[in-house]
Amino acid sequence: MSHKKSKLLLLSLPLLLSSCAQHNQDITNAQHSVASETQEELYILPGLDHGLVQSPINIYSFKERESNHHKITFHFQDEIKAIENLGHTVQLDFAQGSTINYEDLTYSFKQMHFHTPSEHLIDGVTYPMEMHIVTNVPPKNSTEKPRYLVIGVLFKMGQTNKFLDEFINLIPKKVHSVAPLNPGSVKLHDLFPDDEETNVENFYHYRGSLTTAPYTEAVEWFVLKHIIEASPEQIKKISAIEGNNARHIQGVFGRSID
Ligand SMILES: [Zn+2]
């Protein structure tokens, strides 16, 4: 991977996000209803307008990659305003204001949520947890399709994670309930080791889909290469709420991962 310093991702911190993928569907049922002939076709859903760019996927870390020329800029206003227990996931909601600029589009941070275990695999390995930071460009009218940019962060067992500690005991016990958070108490930039400036080459990038219904194929995926540590207790706590909510990996079908 080359090191063009020009592809920079400045992250002027505080951050924010907002909408993510919809998670309110029973993926498991959908997956189980499919029969297919090859491994790669497994879990293609009936009725889905499938452009062969579904997510998640397995990413090979050692593959030669073309140097990518994306430029991405984060404007983090670190305002996370609420935490939700949605039963199938734990979700943090952003206040309005944080954006990411990528290829002439401005995406707004909506929310972030967790999957246990990870949805993306790295070199065939599943990690115990993955977080998705969801941003979108809201459609201007009913005919325009939404566009998403999702940042994926994988977790492995290790040291207690400072960022998770800021809210893990505040997750509402009751399913489908929301608890407000004190402004500034949960800081997404505590998750990233080098918070002031992040190079786009710290991420695997590919084009894919939402991993929950309606599986919209309009997602710019950025999966952080660095695997973040969290304690087994932290991961267990989130996993106990969500259960297994990871979609099966999908075929790559010749897509480039840069
Ligand atoms: Zn997700």
Give the whole-angstrom CA distance, residue 252 versus residue 16.
Answer: 30
User: Residue 205 carries which side chain, given as an amino acid letter?
Assistant: H
Residue 88 known to be catalytic:
yes
pLDDT band at 197 (very low <50, low <70, confident <90, very high): very low
| Active-site residue (options: 75, 88, 113, 189) | 88
pLDDT tens across 63-97, in order? 776 666 667 777 766 689 999 999 999 999 998 88
**Distance from Cα 227 to the centre of ligand 1, integer Å:** 17
Q: Are 92 and 83 in contact (CB under 8 A)?
A: yes
Rounded to 5 degrees, what angle do the CA atoms 73, 218, 134 make?
Answer: 50
Domain boundaries along the sequence of the chain: 8-242
Which pTM value belongs to this model? 0.80
What is the distance in A from the centroid of ligand 1 to the CA of 142?
Answer: 24
Residue 144 has a pLDDT of 85
How many A from CA of 5 to the centre of ligand 1? 30
pLDDT at 219 over 60: yes
**Ranges assigned E (strand) in the chain:** 8-12, 58-59, 72-75, 80-85, 90-94, 99-102, 105-115, 121-122, 129-137, 147-157, 177-180, 197-199, 203-208, 219-224, 228-230
- CATH 3.30.950.10 correct for 8-242: no
